[in-house]
Amino acid sequence: MKIVVAVGGSIIIKENSHEKFKDYADVLRSMNDEHKLFIVVGGGKPAREYIGIARDLGVSEAACDDIGIDVTRLNAKLLIMALGEDAYPKVAKNFHEAMEFSVSGKIVVMGGTEPAHSTDAVSSILAEFVNADLLINATSVDGLYDKDPNKHDDAKMFEKITPAEMMSILSSKETKAGTYEFFDSTAIQIIKRSKIKTRIVNGNHAENIQKAVSSEIGTTIVHD
């Protein structure tokens, strides 16, 4: 199966620890024989810190995005290091490179691509570009909720949701570099137009990536 995995930066790079990189590498390596894997890594805390400095310097939001993208590529490089010989040794900078690198049969790892594209958007476009059979989105909570579950006790997780429902939830929200919602509108539209099978899972446990391949954990985006 061809699988694209998006791993939020806040999941994989924690307190300057290498452990989540190692966990993810172990799980992905075990999946590599059976599946063709593409991983998109987010920026997390270091990205927010660099974006913070950039914003204090008064640069544009696009420039803030831009330095955030550089940090996602640093994180992607760490995952490549953790994967060792199983990964293609270079971070893919765009979708063309991801396609090229995958010819090697190695796991392809990338970060962001360009301003105004969140990790969600990048992973959904990548899934479309490579005709992935499954898109797995690893976030810091168990799935997609109707409101932020860290702030609201009554937040309700969707087991299934359609892109149209997602769009209506997202409407009237603001986009600011480094503080994207679970899914920006671009990602949803891509998933919708190509009916990409998508699962949003709790990425704090790397093994959920493997589980998401066969079982319906977390939130599954369904198409009519």
Q: Taking the complex as a whole, how short is the minimal distance between the CB of residue 78 and its own copies, in angstroms?
A: 6
Shortest separation between residue 182's beta carbon and its own copies, angstroms: 16
Q: Is 186 among the residues that bind its own copies (CB under 8 A)?
A: yes
Between CA 124 and CA 1 the distance in angstroms is: 16
Nearer to its own copies, 114 or 159 (CB): 114
Place of tokens 């699962």: 199
Output the smallest distance, CB 113 to its own copies, in A: 6
Annotated binding-site positions for UMP? 43, 65, 113-119
Q: Which one of 67, 110, 144, 169 is in contact with its own copies (CB under 8 A)?
A: 67
How would you list the strands of the sheet with 134-139, edge to edge? 108-110, 36-41, 2-7, 134-139, 198-202, 219-221, 160-161
HEC sequence for 134-148? EEEEEECCCCCECCC
| Those residues with Cβ within 8 angstroms of residue 213's Cβ, 6 or more apart along the chain or in another chain | 1, 3, 31, 35, 134, 136
* Rounded distance between C-alpha atoms, residue 30 and residue 32, angstroms: 6
**Contact region with its own copies (CB under 8 A), list: 27-35, 116-124, 141-149, 151-159:** 116-124
Selected binder of its own copies within 6, 40, 41, 82 (CB under 8 A): 82
User: Pairing mode, if any, of strands 160-161 and 134-139?
Assistant: unpaired
Binding site for ATP: residue ranges? 9-10, 44, 48, 139, 145, 148
Round to whole Å and give the CA distance between 204 and 192.
27
- What is the CA 103 to chain-centroid distance, rounded? 22
Residue 220: its H or E element: strand 219-221
Judged by CB under 8 A, the residue of 74, 157, 213, 222 near its own copies is 74
The nearer residue to its own copies, 76 or 212, going by C-beta atoms, is: 76
- Of the candidate residues 33, 154, 174, 224, the single one contacting its own copies (CB under 8 A): 174
Distance CA 122, CA 82 (A): 22
Out of 33, 172, 214, 224, point to the residue binding its own copies (CB under 8 A): 172
Q: Point out which residues bind its own copies (CB under 8 A).
A: 13, 16-18, 21-22, 46, 49-50, 52-54, 56-57, 59-63, 66-67, 70-71, 73-74, 77-78, 81-82, 88-90, 94-96, 99-100, 103-104, 106, 113-117, 121, 125, 128-131, 164, 167-168, 171-172, 174-176, 185-186, 189-190, 192-194
